[in-house]
Amino acid sequence: MKIDGHGLTIGQTVAAASREGSEFAVSGDALRAMNASRNLKLEILATGKPIYGVTTGFGDSVNRQISPEKTARLQNELIRYHLNGTGPLASDEVVRATLLIRANCLARGNSGVSLPVVDLLLEFLRHDVLPAIPERGSVGASGDLVPLCYLAHALTGQGTVRHRGELRPTADVLAELGLVPVTLEAKDGLALINGTSFSSAFAVLNTEAAAELAEVADVCTALASEGMLGNRGHYAPFIHDEKPHSGQGASAALIHELLEGSALAMTYDQVVDLNLPLDGRHYQKLTRSIQDRYSLRCAPHVNGVLRDMLDWVRTWMTVEINSSSDNPLFDPSTGAVYSGGNFYGGHVVTAMDALKTAVAGVADLLDRQVALLVDEKFNNGLTPNLIARVADDDTEAGLQHGFKGMQIACSALTAEALKHAGPASTFSRSTEAHNQDKVSMAPIAARDARDVIELTREVAAIHLLAACQAVELRGVEEMSPRTRAVHTRIRKEVPFAAKDRQMDDDIAAVVEMISSGAVTEAARRGVDL
């Protein structure tokens, strides 16, 4: 697959991150553009004119110029003094995505880098040589300086990489693979670290994970509606056509389709007809409510926000991973060099701040649905805490507590997701002698979004377990074909909770089903009843 800094997609990046596609090369047009900008860099360098970060110091040291013969060493010093990251190492998926995105941005041909830099980035991806990159230490100002320095350090044959599941010295791994470390020339180091590629890697992976959760949330709502003997008329097309947000409409349509044929969650007319006619009486209490609580009735309005947000987040991130995001940039058509701020992660941080808020809102929605399912005051005749039905004189009577503990855990996970939902972009700090006096905080927002997604996935897992317990108490034969398929899939690995038991492994199993797409696949397929 060819890269040129213009056509890389989110799907290709996600596939590369999971090792489904890691064979990339630079296109011919991109090679010519890269050569042209590098030649311009060398021409300007030969004139003795100052070029930011090439013959000058960095940041507030811009007013200190060095001679051309010192430029290569300056690039190595730049990398060395940023090797101060902390925290856990970034996941393999994030590092792979970072390698591809950085190579693609440099292949756009404005950065003046030498060709071996991009070639070795792609060789790292091809051979799964993954620089050990600490997650913390970047404010997303002049790009992701600290984390990308670990990537640049590895390209020079130094530091540590993860290869075949082991952390090893980079030099040893490159020697085994017959790969030659790059020798940095003027601007190469700055081009490698001056960009949003690390933040963007998190953001791209978050985007696709959130999209999977959006569909799972609709599946959860359909199952909860059946467990609660809900009114599927709330998802009728007429309602949502009259408030035509596309995400809301898509969410409502999916829930409506999932519930087609259900004898548990009935149509509006069916629910109304379950109640006796007034027959001249002035008052009666309905035997079946004709309207559900907000967490069921308004689910498309909550999840629809996430769906709609994903549309513009994908647009923004596609632009970001196909941009020249370093500084300075070279224009061979005019012979000019430009200093600017394309490394600033403003679009990434705003996208991730918004995304994590929407995902946390979905966690809160699902948590409220679980609270209804387990509470005998509100669950329309289900057992307290979804315990198995037992006679009052049974020896087990009064001993079992069912999903009481699961609801507590669900609430805790939701609270943590909501805690992370605050906007990181508002916490700008002035750094680097007030040169970086307004910073984006993009990597922090992107990591927060990752955490919110993981927490919400766990909330969804608990929800699915509770909802499956509920519909089993109602009668699986009354479910719709598509929700029944989800129930069947979950029951392949997690049995009905007939008695209290440890359930952390159950949660982990369903989390894996969500992550792998098994839940949504079952919902799409349905069963032939």
Active-site positions read 52
Token readout for 447 is: 């990591």
How far does Cα 260 stand from its chain's mean position?
Answer: 31
Q: Are 32 and 136 in contact (CB under 8 A)?
A: no
CA dist list (Å): 76 to 185, 193, 455: 9, 11, 40
Provide DSSP, 222-283. Answer: HHHHHHTT-BGGGG-HHHHHTS--HHHHHHHHHHHHHTTT-SSSB-HHHHHHTSPP-TT-S-
CA dist list (Å): 421 to 68, 431, 449, 452: 48, 24, 8, 7
Token readout for 5 is: 């800094």
Instruction: List the end-to-end C-alpha distance of the chain, in Å, as a whole number.
Output: 44
Question: For 85, how many CA atoms within 13 A lie in the half-sphere containing its CB?
Answer: 26
Helix (H) or strand (E) holding 379: none
- Residue 57 DSSP symbol: -
Helix (H) or strand (E) holding 436: none
Compute, in degrees rounded to 10, the torsion defined by CA atoms 188, 189, 194, 197.
90
Residue 419's contacts (CB-CB under 8 Å, 6 or more residues apart) are none
Nearest to 6 by CA among 93, 106, 126, 116: 106
Q: How far apart are CA 354 and CA 177, in angstroms?
A: 42
Provide DSSP, 398-426. Answer: TT--TTHHHHHHHHHHHHHHHHTTS-GGG
Question: For 273, how many CA atoms within 13 A lie in the half-sphere containing its CB?
Answer: 5
Omega into 300 within 30° of 0, i.e. cis?
A: no
Helix (H) or strand (E) holding 185: none
CA dist list (Å): 474 to 228, 428, 446, 481, 503: 9, 52, 41, 15, 22
For residue 62, how many other CB atoms are within 10 A of its CB? 14
CA 475, 480, 485, 489 dihedral sign is: negative
Q: Which residues are bridge partners to 330 per DSSP?
A: 337
How far does Cα 239 stand from its chain's mean position?
Answer: 31
Q: Give the SS3 label for residue 353.
A: helix
